[in-house]
Amino acid sequence: MAKPFHLNTPLLESVGMSKRVGTTVYLKMENSQPSGSFKIRGIGHLCQQLARQSKGVVCSSGGNAGMAAAYVARKMGVPATIVVPSSSPQLVVQRLQDQGATVKITGRVWDDANAEALRLQETEGLTYVPPFDHPLLWQGHASVIAEVAASLGPGVKPGAVLVSVGGGGLLCGVVRGLKDAGWTDVPIVAMETAGADCFNAAVKAGRLVTLDDITSEAKCLGAKTVCKKAFEYSRCSELTIISELVTDQQALSAVQTFLDEERVLVEMACGAALAAVYSGLVRRLQDEGRLPALLGPLLVIVCGGSSIDMEQLTLLKHKLQA
């Protein structure tokens, strides 16, 4: 098999988070991937399988899937077109262009950009790279859990895993990884922000739900419909997937605390998962008996994200904390 594009990222113990939760918290630092997020795992794998002979790839993205596709395409010597909605900040457009990609801005939300990417696949004969809904992506993302298992060593198993959910690709990859490791009894806490909550809406309704709009500032969680596989996993009796929401303010506040305590800047999509610790949600789930009171090590997938810098952080602070 070809050498993967992703790195084996550090697994760090967080003293600050461990103190809050009362058990050891491990951070899987996907922010340190070359493209700035976990997305490169799945997208690198998918492109190695599907884009070798391609005349070009086209990816619809809130930003980070695009960053991964642009990076991988550049390394493979294939042109990349990334379609983003107008809600993606200018800084990510610039970063995509710096990776050598052609950027097209279409529509207001990711679903609009995706329609355009699918059109370009047809009219231009480009290889379509989906951001979250493909078995090859999930297979690639599963490597994150395999690495954690190798880092923790035999006999150590997480008590729970914290992940952010946008379209559900990371969630599906984590489930696959847990299955491969023989860890299907490990509960997953699936985090979204209110206003970008297509997974939570589906879990509550007992069917796939398409949101009217994305009103959260966590734009990279902004798919209107979660992928079918993620929904199916939520109903699978072998798995425990707890779907929870935080507010934009909680996600942003988590981004700031994480920057202060861990010295790492991530975007709000990632802040949604971090907020489960900082807002006391994990403690509440333990009090409610939905997570064990005596919890084994908590694994937080620090999914990362490139749509953030100090200017964007200040802007979000003014917008959300006014």
Chain residues binding ligand PLV by CB under 6 A are 37, 39, 61-65, 110, 131-132, 164-171, 220-223, 267, 269-270, 303-305
Rank residues 46 and 295 by Cβ distance to ligand PLV and give the closer one: 46
In angstroms, rounded to a whole number, what is the distance separating the alpha carbons of residues 183 and 30? Answer: 21
Q: Based on CB atoms, which residue is closest to ligand PLV, 90 or 182?
A: 90
Which amino acid is located at 194 in the chain? A
- State the residue for tokens 């800047």: 265
We find the least distance from the C-beta atom of residue 287 to ligand PLV, in angstroms, to be 27
CB of 65 to ligand PLV, least distance (A): 3
Q: How far is the CB of 266 from ligand PLV (least distance, A)?
A: 7
Q: How far is the CB of 168 from ligand PLV (least distance, A)?
A: 5
H or E element that contains 193: strand 188-193
Q: Check residue 31 and report its DSSP letter.
A: G
Nearer Cβ to ligand PLV, position 158 or 169? 169
Q: List alpha helices for 99-237, DSSP H.
A: 110-124, 135-141, 143-152, 169-181, 198-205, 228-234
Task: State how far the Cα of 277 lies from the Cα of 267, in Å rounded to an integer.
Answer: 16
Q: By C-beta, is 21 or 218 nearer to ligand PLV? A: 218
Distance CA 226, CA 213 (A): 13
Smallest gap from Cβ 114 to ligand PLV, in A, equals 9
DSSP SS3 for 26: strand
Least distance CB 25 / ligand PLV (angstroms): 18
Name, in order, each residue with C-beta under 8 angstroms of 267's C-beta and a sequence gap of 6 or more.
Answer: 218, 220, 255, 304, 305, 306, 307, 308
CB 172 within 8 A of CB 229: yes
Q: How far is the CB of 294 from ligand PLV (least distance, A)?
A: 29
Q: How far is the CB of 295 from ligand PLV (least distance, A)?
A: 23
In the 8-state DSSP scheme, what is residue 312?
H
**DSSP for 45-88, written as a single string:** HHHHHH-TT-S-EEEE-SSHHHHHHHHHHHHHT--EEEEE-TTS
Angle (nearest 5°) at CA 176 between 43 and 61: 30
Nearer to ligand PLV, 23 or 32 (CB): 32
Give the whole-angstrom CA distance, residue 309 versus residue 275: 19
Nearer to ligand PLV, 51 or 224 (CB): 224
Tell me how far, at minimum, the Cβ of 133 lies from ligand PLV, in Å.
Answer: 9
For ligand PLV, the closer CB: 112 or 147: 112
Nearest to 68 by CA among 23, 114, 4: 4
Q: Which is nearer to ligand PLV, 67 or 285 (CB)?
A: 67
Q: Which is nearer to ligand PLV, 218 or 285 (CB)?
A: 218
Find out whether 235 and 307 touch, Cβ atoms under 8 Å.
no
